[in-house]
Amino acid sequence: MARTSGTATPKRPAKADNGAITPQLLDDFRDEFVGNPAHRLAMNACSRGDVDEIALNRSVLAGMDWHFSHEVEGGAITHQRNAGFCWMYAALNWLRIDVMTKLKLETFEFSNNYMIFWDRFEKANRFLTAMVDLRGQSPDDRKVDYLLREPCPDGGEWHMVANLIRKYGMAPKSAMAETANLVDSKFLNKVVDAKLRQTAAKLFAAPEAEVQEIKRQAMGDVYRILCILMGEPPQRFDFSYRDKKKKFHAHRDLSPHTFYDQFVGVDVDDYVWVMSSPLDSTPYQQTFYIEQFQNVVEGAPGVFVNVEMPALKDLAVRVVKDKQALLFGCDVLQASSRKVGIMDPAVMDYELLFNTSFAMSRKERMQFLQARLTHNMVILGVDLVDDQPLKWKVENSWGDEPGNKGYFQMTDAWFDEHMYALVVHKKYLNAEQKRVLKQQPTVLPPWHALA
């Protein structure tokens, strides 16, 4: 149906294309929109309802089931709420499985609050250390500008967890419970970032002799702010519990390091990030790490081995078949339904709804920042058919309302498209991967697509 009006609009003479939106171009777009009744139907539905519910592909849901040929028992579902610490929640959910097995517990939680406190504190020190090193640069320098935009970011990865464990140990949730400023980190970040940016300005203007004292005073301020908002981390605590047989156990006057050594005991140095990135800047069978992607200044960098996707998937299958859970990183924002708890490339039919294609290759999505590593979770199972994966069972940290009581399922097709990295024990690496791991890693800039 053509667009009509009381008076015909004369056609304007064509001009050289300077990139501007012209009245003629707008008329063409309007005619195209109103000429298709399906567009109006989509507009009527989307303007009154949840777009993801409208776009949900019901044929994908019809084939869902929640049975897996190989599963690992996890603990009670956790909830990160409005904090951007999925990487910490996922890592602690993964690490607790050994504790639950060792102590014969139905469930268990580490103190996220304890770990995030020290992550905030160490990231503040990392930022100020970088500002001291960069004092001779302009605030408009790309690296300075990048760091100033988010001085103490929420995000992180496995190597940051490992660095914190080495330096500060761990604590059970009972020793330092969650606070309001952990479950909603916006105010915490606002205050800490304001102090850090103020200190950066002082450092850039100060004479050399005053630099270290300015930094020391600022770190004292950050420690005080964190204690006020999150509580003071315990140096000693008691740990008591009842096992599955209801037998009571009590352990008194533990330090975070003695608690870790006695009840966790995982050697974090035995685990490595294995990534699959098709970017030209990250060739396969090489190692890399991202500059400034760090919390503890003196901590180990986040070195990863880059492998092709079939090799990454083979590692995942072998680990789960060995009755071990897997910490992983992915782009959960792509082709997933939070409400239903399914990750599948076809789950959202946006192309039908909007009558346009959004197709991009995995490499294109990463190159043009349509996709990046946005979320960490734990794989607890895989459904194998003729020894090939069909789907994966995923433990999330978004509470027990989404998905199947907090669990998600990831189809193998989604794994191919949106999986980025696994944390695996070095014993699962093949000889070639172990050889590559010994290479000198290439350093990637902090604004790299994998950051």
User: Measured between alpha carbons, how far is 432 from 315 in angstroms, rounded to an integer?
Assistant: 13
All CATH 3.90.70.10 domain ranges of the chain, comma separated, are 35-40+51-74+268-451, 85-266
For residues 183 and 80, is the Cβ–Cβ distance under 8 A? yes
Residue 3 has pLDDT above 60, yes or no: no
For residues 230 and 182, is the Cβ–Cβ distance under 8 A? yes
CB atoms within 10 A of CB 409: 23
Q: Tell me what the pLDDT averaged over the chain comes to.
A: 94
- Structure token pair of residue 422: 């696994």
**245-278 exposure pattern, b = at least 16 Cβ within 10 A, e = fewer:** eeeeeeeeebebeebbeebbeeebeebbbbbbbb
Reported as a single tens digit per residue, the pLDDT across 224-262 is 999 999 999 999 999 999 999 999 999 999 999 999 999
User: Measured between alpha carbons, how far is 288 from 279 in angstroms, rounded to an integer?
Assistant: 12
Per cent of the chain over pLDDT 70 is: 96
Reported as a single tens digit per residue, the pLDDT across 125-159 is 999 999 999 999 999 999 999 999 999 999 999 99
User: Measured between alpha carbons, how far is 135 from 197 in angstroms, rounded to an integer?
Assistant: 13
At CA 19, angle to CA 13 and CA 23, rounded to 5? 45
- The residue-averaged pLDDT of 46-56 equals 94
Non-local (6+) Cβ contacts of 229 within 8 A are 179, 181, 187, 188, 191
**Where would I find the beta strands (DSSP E) of 62-123?**
70-71
Given this model, what pLDDT does residue 13 score? 52
Tokens 């009590």 map to which residue?
250
For residues 128 and 304, is the Cβ–Cβ distance under 8 A? no
Q: What is the pTM of this model?
A: 0.92
User: Measured between alpha carbons, how far is 21 from 379 in angstroms, rounded to an integer?
Assistant: 48
Query: Which long-range contacts (C-beta less than 8 Å, at least 24 apart) are formed by 145-152?
Result: 146/292, 146/446, 146/447, 147/292, 147/446, 148/197, 148/200, 150/193, 151/123, 151/124, 151/127, 151/192, 151/193, 151/196, 151/197, 151/200, 152/120, 152/123, 152/124, 152/127, 152/189, 152/192, 152/193, 152/196
- Per DSSP, the three-state class of 383 is strand
Reported as a single tens digit per residue, the pLDDT across 254-298 is 999 999 999 998 999 999 999 999 999 999 999 999 999 999 999
pLDDT-derived band at 11, boundaries 50, 70, 90: low
At CA 196, angle to CA 139 and CA 179, rounded to 5? 145
Catalytic annotation, residues: 86, 375, 396
Nearest of 344, 268, 330 to residue 58 by alpha carbon: 344
Number of H helices, E strands in the chain: 17, 14
Kindly indicate whether the domain formed by 85-266 is annotated with CATH number 3.90.70.10.
yes
- The residue-averaged pLDDT of 184-188 equals 88
Residue 68 has pLDDT above 50, yes or no: yes
- The residue-averaged pLDDT of 37-41 equals 94
**Checking phi first, is residue 433 left (phi over 0); if not, alpha (psi -120 to 50) or beta?**
alpha
Q: Which CATH topology does 35-40+51-74+268-451 take?
A: Cathepsin B; Chain A (3.90.70)
CB atoms within 10 A of CB 160: 24
